[in-house]
Amino acid sequence: MSIATTPNQVLLHGDLHHENILQHGNTWRVIDPKGFIGDPAYECGAYIRNPFPGILVCQNMLTIIKKRIQMFADLLNLDERRIAEWTYVQAVVAACWIIEDHLDPCSWIKLCDALEQTL
């Protein structure tokens, strides 16, 4: 997987997760966009892994992750493997940020290990 193989590049929010989607009356608002161009499968990552790190202690974590990937693929007409790979990329980047902050990246590495099993 690479950006070069992205089937269609779109404008991405870049930080789309549960806390950046707010209900306002009968409508939904997305806040705090980072704004960049990329693969639409990228945006699914936060939903695959959240609540993080809580998902890591679920006895059926791998089943949950696989089901979420499958659901997003079906709903958004995206490739399951691309969703899993972009979620993996996000976890690696997060581990790097944690290491940069001199903290323990074990939770992110555990997520990477689980995602590898979905590929």
Per residue in 44-66, pLDDT (tens digit) is: 999 999 989 999 999 999 999 99
8 Å CB contact between 23 and 30? no
Q: pTM for the full model?
A: 0.86
Give the confidence band of 76 by pLDDT, cuts at 50, 70, 90. very high
What is the rounded distance in angstroms from the CA atom of residue 110 to the CA atom of residue 116? 10
Residue 103 has pLDDT above 90, yes or no: yes
8 Å CB contact between 101 and 108? no
Would you call the peptide bond into 51 cis, given omega within 30 degrees of 0 as the criterion?
A: yes
Q: Which tens digits make up the pLDDT trace of 11-29? A: 999 888 889 999 999 999 9
Give the confidence band of 3 by pLDDT, cuts at 50, 70, 90. low
The CA–CA distances, whole Å, from 69 to 23, 31, 36, 88, 95 equal: 25, 24, 22, 12, 21
Q: Which two tokens stand for residue 99?
A: 């290491």
The CA–CA distances, whole Å, from 81 to 21, 29, 116 equal: 25, 29, 10
Mean pLDDT of all residues in 77-104? 95
**Whole-number pLDDT of residue 15:** 86
8 Å CB contact between 40 and 16? no
Instruction: State the amino acid at position 28 in one-letter form.
Output: W
Q: Which two tokens stand for residue 77?
A: 């007409």
